[in-house]
Chains A and B, each alone.
Chain A
């Protein structure tokens, strides 16, 4: 690499890293408890598991749960019912209106007895605060997009870091962390070694995090294009006041797509349906397909199938990105590995910051020469 090229990449690495390091530290620290959000929920009592029963205990109708939720909040509308992906349980979301942006209450039911087992806390508690800090810095969509920009900056820092790895490590064996010599050389070795070992994981987690930040804008695109096309014939019609059976809609959708299971039933007039349809989202049963959704439109009056399409590629990308970002798809050991990789990332950030803070007031050429000297 030419001296000029080295100088340019050094500057890219320095400034992109500096621009995102503090935010990344916040993301890494808040990400740690989020990896164990399910376990923390059970431990803190905010998540209630259905009681143990025989594995072949039959499931009851979801309509019984909807009736119970209506009795508990007679002034509210049912927005959706959704099935837990790992427990015999359903959630019923209630709102001031069926298309309210946020539910006023979410009740969790035992899918075998229709007993309400948890009034799921909404927008409160330490985990809500940590999640808000991680997802949008308490700033809604602009905050989420800012977090995406931080992720882009980090990707640029990683790419430039990989480019700089060769000139700074060509005289050292892979994994060298020198025991003797200057303290700054040890920080450099640690930064280079951890950075290059973690690069693939960091690129995956950053890229999937960036994709996640685009969820709301891309859902908007889908609603304006494909969903609008699916629902065009019913636009402007008055909503059905008393929609039919959610269980019947789920059964019809299951019959239409037998290889998948019901994950979510959006009520007529809701954010993802028409005034005349239930929108049933189906999911597969393998590790990958259980993350993917297929919408099925069911007429809320007749209970008949109206339409069914695959999600567009950009929403499929978001659904695939989520597990690769959260690390929640390979059991508890994978979560522990995720934590250790996250902690190692914090060391990379701190060591990079340490190298920057320990710099002198010297021109960039002298700094590069000094770092190259440390690497030899």
Chain B
């Protein structure tokens, strides 16, 4: 069981690694779009927190 403390960071790391590999290993441009979405989520998270602060 992953502690509450690490759930967010691990989710961000998983999305990032998935996004990085999707564009590199994917055989179609569809994987590029998947990659952009996956890598945009951590950035969106940063933008939302930044805006709120």
- Which A residues fall within an 8 A CB radius of B? 162, 165-166, 169-170, 174-175, 177-179, 186, 189-190, 193-194, 196-201, 204, 286-288, 323-324, 329-331, 333-334, 337, 340-341, 344
**Residues of chain B with a CB closer than 8 A to A190's CB:** 53
Of B13, B27, B31, B52, most buried by chain A (CB within 10 Å of CB) is B13
- In the docked arrangement, what's the CA distance between A24 and B40, Å? 23
Q: Could you tell me if A330 and B8 are in contact, using CB atoms closer than 8 angstroms? A: no
State whether A334 touches B13 (Cβ < 8 A).
no
Which residues in window 6-38 of B have CB below 8 A to A? 6-9, 12-14, 16-17, 20, 23-27, 29, 31-32, 35-36
The listed residue (A198, A199, A330) touching B36 by CB distance below 8 A is A330
State A91–B26 Cα separation when bound (angstroms): 29
Cα–Cα distance between A324 and B23 once the two chains are bound (Å): 10
- In the A-B complex, list the 9 residue pairs whose CB atoms are closest, starting with the nearest: A174-B8, A330-B23, A200-B13, A177-B53, A200-B16, A196-B9, A333-B36, A197-B12, A337-B39
B20 near A174: Cβ-Cβ < 8 Å? no
Interchain nearest-CB distance for A320 vs B (Å): 8
Do B53 and A337 touch across chains, with their CB atoms under 8 A apart? no
Residues of the B chain whose Cβ atoms lie less than 8 Å from the Cβ of A288: 24-25
Contacting B46 at CB < 8 Å: which of A194, A333, A334? A194
Which residues of B does A touch, CB under 8 Å?
Answer: 5-9, 12-14, 16-17, 20, 23-27, 29, 31-32, 35-36, 39-40, 42-43, 45-46, 49-50, 52-53
Least Cβ–Cβ distance between A237 and chain B, in angstroms: 42
User: Within 8 Å CB of B12, what residues of A?
Assistant: 196-197, 199-200
Shortest beta-carbon distance, A260 to chain B, in Å?
16
Contact flag A324-B49 (CB < 8 Å), given A197-B9, A287-B26, A334-B36: no
* Closest Cβ neighbor of B22 among chain A residues: A330
CB neighbours (8 Å) of A286 from chain B are 27
Instruction: For B16, list chain A residues within 8 Å (CB).
Output: 200-201, 204
Q: Are A177 and B5 neighbours in the complex by a CB distance under 8 Å?
A: no
Contacts of A165 in B (CB 8 A): 9
Interface of chain A: mostly helix, strand, loop or mixed: helix
Instruction: Say whether A334 contacts B49, CB under 8 Å.
Output: no
Chain A hits for B5, CB < 8 A: 166, 169-170, 174
Known: A186-B53, A200-B17, A331-B32. A344 touches B43 (CB 8 A): yes
A329–B29 Cα gap in the complex (Å)?
11
B6 to chain A, nearest CB (A): 8
Q: Which residues of B contact A177 (CB under 8 A)?
A: 49-50, 52-53
Question: Given A201-B20, A330-B35, 6 more contacts at CB 8 Å?
Answer: A174-B8, A175-B8, A177-B49, A286-B27, A331-B29, A337-B36
Per the bound structure, the CA–CA distance linking A193 and B32 in Å amounts to 27
Q: Say whether A334 contacts B32, CB under 8 Å.
A: yes
**In the complex, how many angstroms separate the beta carbon of B19 from the nearest chain A beta carbon?**
8
Contact status A199-B13, CB under 8 Å: yes
Contact of B23 among A162, A196, A201, A329 (CB under 8 A): A329
Interchain CB contact (< 8 A) of B35 among A174, A334, A340: A334
Q: Which residues of A contact B31 (CB under 8 A)?
A: 287
- Best-buried of B26, B39, B45 by chain A (most CB within 10 Å): B39
